[in-house]
Structure 1
């Protein structure tokens, strides 16, 4: 099996979706996802909307989630809800009650609460008793209500959580993952995973695959060649970064990997490939934007290579480019490249990347999935984490052009 999916925010609502929920919007856009022959939409339970206070879960948000699941079932797809979002599109969205009175540098990613930037620091989501108790309460409320809903594909605990808050110790993150997994399993038999990304493999960021694997049904990974240091300037659409990250995650964790995010930012009209300057943490940074034609080739190459490396599936980032009505709102006003990651454009037309996903899904449906040709790597976590960046870079140079 090879599961094809997409990460989903509505094209006209983005992170403001749950505050302005409309069933008709979900019906239309989930129908588009089904028309691309994709099986799963990964959605995000925006933390401040689902849990407005540590001891209170929003009944409106829970009801709207039920509507999302019902619509998914009606159109023939499934859903991966992601808790504690948290980090999203270059910003950290903290519920106000999770913040301390202490202030610090805004930095990168900047902190937002109730749609406004804040200098207040956040509590530790992995060890703070108030947050841990609240997190378990939210998991119990969601899974207790929808744990057996037929539209649930799996449960996901966060989105690149080290960007939201770095654990003080790897044992803190392992225990956090263990507690959440145990809470889900009181109410649901669907799989769980943790929402990790490339810095898990290239740094000591407080998370390690072998400590997540005992409590997760599969390992998840996100990687973007447009952000990887050895490719972002000279070959930003290198299609070996993603499958190599899959192989390394599998080797370190000893479990199969779902590639939960990959993709590229396109130029506004998708007609050219170019480098632009964006501001990040007060500094200018060069950012690559691809033509849609180049992006389509990239998707086709990555999908085939993931299959040949034994991945159990791939989810594109993301469903749609965002409507211009969002461009002056956080986070898109500053992170302009985040506007254009879609498989579809904001007018609903399908990009070549969306066509690539649809064509690959058709191959899978016809039983023509490329067979695994790259054997699992043999790696040990102890040796890997002595020099994670150096080890990844060396393996990339070894495999570059050979997957």
Structure 2
């Protein structure tokens, strides 16, 4: 099996979805996802909306989540709910109760609470007893209510959580992972994964695949060639970065991998590939944006290579470009390129990347999935983390052009 899915925020609501929930919007956009022959929508349970206080879960948000699951069942797709969001699109969205009274440096990603930027520091989500109790409470509330819902594909603990808050020790993140697994398993037998990204493989970011694997049914990975140091400024649509990240995660963790996020930022009109200047930490930063044609080719290459490397599947980032009405709001005002990652445009038309996903889904449905041709790698986690960036770079140079 090779599962095709997409990461979902509504094109006109983005991270403000749960504050202004509309069932008809979900029906329309989930129907578009189904029309692309995609099987799963990964959604994000915005933390401040679902848990307005550490001891209180929002009844309204829980009910709206049930509506989302019911709509998914009606249109014929599955849903991967992601807890503790948390980090999203270049910003960290903190529930106000999880912030400390002390202020800290203003660094990227910027911190937000209730839509406003803040200098206040956050509590430790992996070791602070208040945070752990709150997180378990949220997981149990959701899984107690929807743990057997037929529209659930799997549960996802977080979204690139090291960007939200880096664990002080890998032992803290391993225990956090185990505690959340235990909370889910009280009420639900659906698969579980953690929502990790490539810095877990290229740095000491507080997470290790081998420590997550015992309490993840499969491992998840997010990989972007437009952000990888050896390709970002020379070959930003190199299609070997993503499958290599899948292979390394599999080897270090000893479990199959779902490539939970991949994609590219397109130029606003999708008519040219170029670098644009965005601001990051008050400094200009060169960010690549692609034409729709180049992006479509990239998607096709990555999908075929992931199949050749034995991936469980691939979820595109993301469903749609964002509507211009959101461009002056956080985080899209500063992170301009985040506006245009969609498989569809904000007017609803399908991009070549969306066509590539639809075509590959048809291939899989017809029983014509490309066979695995790249054998699993053999890697030692202990040796890997002596020099994670160097080891990744070395393997990339070795495999470049050979997957």
- Residue 54 of structure 2 is matched in structure 1 by 54
- Residue 380 of structure 1 is matched in structure 2 by 380
Question: Structure 1: how far apart are the matches of 2:186 and 2:60?
Answer: 23
- Residue 117 of structure 1 is matched in structure 2 by 117
- Residue 37 of structure 1 is matched in structure 2 by 37
CA drift of 1:105 comes to 1.0
1:10-43 CA-partner distances (Å, limit 9, x unpaired) = 0000000000000000000000000000000000
- Residue 106 of structure 1 is matched in structure 2 by 106
- Residue 308 of structure 2 is matched in structure 1 by 308
1:217-249 CA-partner distances (Å, limit 9, x unpaired) = 000000100000000011000000000000000
- RMSD between aligned residues: 0.3
- State how 1:238-277 maps to structure 2 within 5 Å: 238-277=238-277
- Residue 293 of structure 1 is matched in structure 2 by 293
Question: Structure 2: how far apart are the matches of 1:232 and 1:343?
Answer: 21
- Residue 162 of structure 1 is matched in structure 2 by 162
- Residue 344 of structure 2 is matched in structure 1 by 344
- Residue 178 of structure 2 is matched in structure 1 by 178
CA drift of 1:282 comes to 1.2
- Residue 364 of structure 1 is matched in structure 2 by 364
Question: Structure 2: how far apart are the matches of 1:381 and 1:157?
Answer: 22
Question: Structure 2: how far apart are the matches of 1:176 and 1:107?
Answer: 25
Question: Structure 2: how far apart are the matches of 1:166 and 1:86?
Answer: 12
Question: Structure 1: how far apart are the matches of 2:281 and 2:94?
Answer: 18
Question: Structure 2: how far apart are the matches of 1:14 and 1:303?
Answer: 26
Question: Structure 2: how far apart are the matches of 1:306 and 1:179?
Answer: 31
- Residue 6 of structure 1 is matched in structure 2 by 6
- State how 1:8-27 maps to structure 2 within 5 Å: 8-27=8-27
Count of matched residue positions in the alignment of Structure 1 and Structure 2: 403
SS of corresponding position for 2:41: strand
Question: Structure 2: how far apart are the matches of 1:12 and 1:97?
Answer: 28
- Residue 331 of structure 1 is matched in structure 2 by 331
SS of corresponding position for 1:117: strand
- Residue 394 of structure 1 is matched in structure 2 by 394
Query: Would you say 1:211 and 2:211 are equivalent positions?
Result: yes
SS of corresponding position for 1:101: strand
SS of corresponding position for 2:153: coil
CA drift of 1:270 comes to 0.1
CA drift of 1:275 comes to 0.3
Runs of 4+ displaced beyond 6 Å: none
CA drift of 1:283 comes to 1.1
1:73-121 CA-partner distances (Å, limit 9, x unpaired) = 0000000000000000000000000000010112110000000000000
SS of corresponding position for 2:288: strand
Query: Would you say 1:81 and 2:81 are equivalent positions?
Result: yes
TM-score, normalised relative to structure 2? 1.00
The runs of 5 or more residues in structure 1 that have no matched partner are none
SS of corresponding position for 1:38: coil
1:309-341 CA-partner distances (Å, limit 9, x unpaired) = 000000000000000000000000000000000
SS of corresponding position for 1:207: coil
Question: Structure 2: how far apart are the matches of 1:282 and 1:256?
Answer: 40
The runs of 5 or more residues in structure 2 that have no matched partner are none
